[in-house]
Structure 1
Amino acid sequence: MYVAPHRHGMVQDHVALVEIDLTGELMIAAAAASEDRLSPDRIDELLDVEAEAGAGDGEA
């Protein structure tokens, strides 16, 4: 039986870890919600997103 050698250094993708944490927060909130879906405002609140000035006004 082959066993892969142990890696001595830990490699971490910090962006991936943050995304996993945020996904977990969304899953917990969705499971606890009384409605079928989380509203976009609730998702933004959970992800700590602030509306950008001029967002969605069609200007690039």
Structure 2
Amino acid sequence: MTKPLDLRLRDDDVLDEIELTANLIIAASEADGRLPQVEVDAILGVAWPTQPPTVP
């Protein structure tokens, strides 16, 4: 017999990671090509003090 799922268990950090990943997947699926690093950073909430490095 299996134990019932304890719905009180919650990991907010993991839930935040899942939400960020889902947002990236949605943005990538809606994009015509590769997502620019600036857009990825914006989705992830990363702030650059200057311009981000360019990717060749």
Q: TM-score, normalised by structure 2?
A: 0.74
Unaligned ranges ≥5, structure 2: none
Which residue of 37, 45, 49 maps to 1:48?
45
- Tell me the equivalent position of 1:20: 18
More helix by share: 2
Matched, 1:11 2:5: no
Matched letter for residue 40 of structure 2: I
- Tell me the equivalent position of 1:31: 29
Unaligned ranges ≥5, structure 1: none
Q: TM-score, normalised by structure 1?
A: 0.70
Alpha carbon RMSD of aligned pairs, Å?
2.3
The verdict on how the C-alpha distance between 1:7 and 1:31 changes in structure 2, with shifts beyond 3 A counting, is: closer
Larger radius of gyration: 1
Please give the secondary structure, in 1, of the residue aligned with 2:46: coil
Identity of aligned residues (%): 31
Matched letter for residue 21 of structure 2: T
